[in-house]
Amino acid sequence: MTSPEKPSRVRRKGIPGTCQLHRGPVGFANLMVSVQDGSVVFDPHVTGACVITIDKEGAKTLLFILTEWLE
């Protein structure tokens, strides 16, 4: 007997930010961060127009750098 496949857990978070290019109000430009197929995906403005994807090692590096900068 095989077990039914577990549905994948969607992991995403919207983070309010400010777009320096368009000079909108603080917190107006959202950044959607999600995990898809083991990669971290950044979707500025939540439009899908310019999506940045980093692998697990890149995500670890980003975590290390941000932790160091924000201490």
Per-residue tens of pLDDT for the chain, all 71 residues: 444 555 556 689 999 888 888 777 776 788 999 999 989 999 988 888 889 999 999 999 999 999 999 99
Is residue 7 situated within a structural domain? no
Kindly tell me the sign of the dihedral angle through the C-alpha atoms of 16, 21, 26, 71.
positive
Is residue 58 situated within a structural domain? yes
Q: Which domain holds residue 50?
A: 12-69
Is residue 21 situated within a structural domain? yes
pLDDT tens for each residue of 3-23: 455 555 668 999 988 888 877
End-to-end CA distance of the chain: 51
The count of structural domains within the chain is 1
In 3D space, the residue among 21, 51, 12, 17 whose CA is nearest the CA of residue 31 turns out to be 17
Is residue 60 situated within a structural domain? yes
Is residue 1 situated within a structural domain? no
| Model confidence, pTM | 0.74
Is residue 28 situated within a structural domain? yes
Is residue 20 situated within a structural domain? yes
Is residue 40 situated within a structural domain? yes
